[in-house]
Chain A
């Protein structure tokens, strides 16, 4: 197994005239929790989607768990996507399904489990995010924080090696946000998951980041730990920390 879990080399992506990524390069090592910071619209979510092949870059090289992603078609990405989970900003739970069916979806899709095994697995996933007994509810009956936790449980269903988090605490109150941060930290420690976390949330960053990278003008302009980001980084990065993480 490679120690370099994710490698982006000179990745560029434009949407029409808007060049979002310009020769962006990033390497994430096994077990690392890397927080991607940057102003709104700087290409953080595009970076995440490029990592698991939801967006194809215009140029550059993307390798995840030793597999090329940038030129792979959807079918070739299937084995990889079982090992790389994605927590979407709004949760992206399926509206038409109950919480149970949402969590059972990846299990039914990829594992050959009996209904009893499925129930047991879903209950343990709900327990992991402290939401036991809500399997019958629909996503519309849940609060924003609960939806995020259910989405996190779904992301964990296939016991991935890598989890990509897109703004995991956005829109949540500080207490719920802190609970999500604790969950991420706990997963990193207990399961040794490699994490890439896109966020504006500086308290979350301080809590979970092994390393901080900063995206500006489509490229990563800084990489270092929180201490370096706060004191030795370029002014733009330090301002971001001192302003609490929100671009004005």
Chain B
């Protein structure tokens, strides 16, 4: 490999490591401010409305159709084994343990993460973040902590609703296509769900939420160079939060399954 190319690769790797280090420091600083007063309560509620209520349609529609497709595919696959009666178990377990948290996080990471980066990035390039600092206000407390709180509270709630919508979607296929009764479907759906499934299904969104909020705020605060810079920062957030959610999903799943 030519030396100049090797240098570029090393530079890019160091740059990336520096970025991860800065995001990690931001995560630690945000965690401290989330639990120490003063709290920006009004801003937290404003963000909860934007992040949570604003994402409801997207996450619910995604979950409903995921439940529908999952039930169709499951019925088709299980038919080969004469086990179509178990649609409820497969749909519920898949959604609660895996698809509900991950798909909701991916949707929220795209919609909300991009929104946070665009907003904070614009504030950064128009010197509003510097204005905060120049007035002796802490940008992490004012901007990052409220968004992190709002995401951490709302993503698990969105996930619970998404799980319910997905299971409902599965029920539609079970009843309308497979001729099962709704009661039979729900009885089977909840039969195998245990504490560990629910714990995993609710731990994941909390961690995903924090990851998304930190990635989004970090990219916003590091945006440079006007609209173009904000655009690039927003793209980075969508990309990094998706990768972050998928990688951490694997790690959390391994951890829970290993318990």
Please measure, in the bound complex, the distance between the C-alpha atom of A70 and the C-alpha atom of B122, giving whole angstroms: 27
Q: Is B49 on the interface with A (CB-CB < 8 A)?
A: no
Q: Are B135 and A105 in contact (CB under 8 A)?
A: yes
Q: Are A52 and B134 in contact (CB under 8 A)?
A: yes
Within residues 75 to 113 of chain A, which ones have a CB less than 8 A from any CB in chain B? 77-79, 81-82, 84-86, 88-90, 92-95, 105-106, 109-110
Q: Are B127 and A89 in contact (CB under 8 A)?
A: yes
Within residues 97 to 136 of chain B, which ones have a CB less than 8 A from any CB in chain A? 122-123, 126-128, 130-131, 133-136
Please measure, in the bound complex, the distance between the C-alpha atom of A85 and the C-alpha atom of B128, giving whole angstroms: 14
* Size band of the interface chain A makes with B: 20 to 34
Q: Is B19 on the interface with A (CB-CB < 8 A)?
A: no
Q: Is A247 on the interface with B (CB-CB < 8 A)?
A: no
Q: Are B127 and A88 in contact (CB under 8 A)?
A: yes
Please measure, in the bound complex, the distance between the C-alpha atom of A89 and the C-alpha atom of B127, giving whole angstroms: 9
Among A79, A84, A92, A158, the residue within 8 A (CB) of B131 is A92
Please measure, in the bound complex, the distance between the C-alpha atom of A93 and the C-alpha atom of B126, giving whole angstroms: 9
Q: Are A49 and B136 in contact (CB under 8 A)?
A: no
Q: Are B135 and A109 in contact (CB under 8 A)?
A: yes
Interface of A is mostly: mixed
Within 8 Å CB of B131, what residues of A?
Answer: 86, 88, 92-94
Among B122, B126, B136, B138, the one with the most A-chain Cβ atoms within 10 Å of its Cβ is: B136
Q: Are A94 and B128 in contact (CB under 8 A)?
A: yes
Q: Is B137 on the interface with A (CB-CB < 8 A)?
A: yes
Please measure, in the bound complex, the distance between the C-alpha atom of A82 and the C-alpha atom of B127, giving whole angstroms: 18
Q: Are B137 and A109 in contact (CB under 8 A)?
A: yes
B113 nearest CB across to chain A (Å)? 18
Q: Are B137 and A92 in contact (CB under 8 A)?
A: no
B80 nearest CB across to chain A (Å)? 56
Q: Interface digits, B221-247 against A, CB 8 Å rule (1 contact, 0 not)?
A: 000000000000000000000000000
Within residues 165 to 203 of chain A, which ones have a CB less than 8 A from any CB in chain B? none
Q: How many residues of B contact A (CB 8 A)?
A: 13
Please measure, in the bound complex, the distance between the C-alpha atom of A82 and the C-alpha atom of B135, giving whole angstroms: 6
Chain B residue at smallest Cβ distance from A55: B130
Q: Is A116 on the interface with B (CB-CB < 8 A)?
A: no
Please measure, in the bound complex, the distance between the C-alpha atom of A79 and the C-alpha atom of B133, giving whole angstroms: 12
Please measure, in the bound complex, the distance between the C-alpha atom of A78 and the C-alpha atom of B134, giving whole angstroms: 9
Q: Is A3 on the interface with B (CB-CB < 8 A)?
A: no
B124 nearest CB across to chain A (Å)? 11
Q: Are A109 and B136 in contact (CB under 8 A)?
A: yes
Given contacts A90-B127, A92-B128, contact A85 B133 (CB under 8 A): no
Q: Are B133 and A92 in contact (CB under 8 A)?
A: no
Q: Are B137 and A49 in contact (CB under 8 A)?
A: no
Please measure, in the bound complex, the distance between the C-alpha atom of A84 and the C-alpha atom of B135, giving whole angstroms: 8
A155 nearest CB across to chain B (Å)? 9
B12 nearest CB across to chain A (Å)? 15
Within residues 140 to 194 of chain B, which ones have a CB less than 8 A from any CB in chain A? none
Within 8 Å CB of A78, what residues of B?
Answer: 136
Please measure, in the bound complex, the distance between the C-alpha atom of A52 and the C-alpha atom of B135, giving whole angstroms: 10
Please measure, in the bound complex, the distance between the C-alpha atom of A117 and the C-alpha atom of B122, giving whole angstroms: 32
Chain A residue at smallest Cβ distance from B134: A86
Among B122, B127, B134, B138, the residue within 8 A (CB) of A85 is B134
Chain A residue at smallest Cβ distance from B129: A92
A51 nearest CB across to chain B (Å)? 10
Please measure, in the bound complex, the distance between the C-alpha atom of A85 and the C-alpha atom of B136, giving whole angstroms: 10
Q: Is A72 on the interface with B (CB-CB < 8 A)?
A: no
Chain B residue at smallest Cβ distance from A108: B137
Within 8 Å CB of A82, what residues of B?
Answer: 136
Within 8 Å CB of B126, what residues of A?
Answer: 90, 92, 95
Please measure, in the bound complex, the distance between the C-alpha atom of A95 and the C-alpha atom of B130, giving whole angstroms: 14
B87 nearest CB across to chain A (Å)? 47
A125 nearest CB across to chain B (Å)? 14
Chain B residue at smallest Cβ distance from A105: B135
B128 nearest CB across to chain A (Å)? 5
Q: Interface digits, A30-44 against B, CB 8 Å rule (1 contact, 0 not)?
A: 000000000000000
Chain B residue at smallest Cβ distance from A79: B136
Q: Would you give 12 A-B contacts (Cβ < 8 Å), ordered by A?
A: A79-B136, A88-B127, A88-B134, A92-B126, A92-B128, A92-B130, A92-B131, A93-B128, A105-B135, A106-B135, A109-B137, A110-B136
Query: Other than the known A92-B127, A92-B131, what 18 A-B pairs have Cβ atoms closer than 8 Å?
Result: A54-B133, A78-B136, A81-B134, A85-B134, A88-B131, A88-B134, A89-B127, A90-B126, A90-B127, A92-B128, A94-B123, A94-B128, A95-B123, A95-B126, A95-B128, A105-B137, A106-B135, A109-B135
5 A-B pairs closest in CB distance: A92-B131, A81-B136, A86-B134, A92-B127, A78-B136
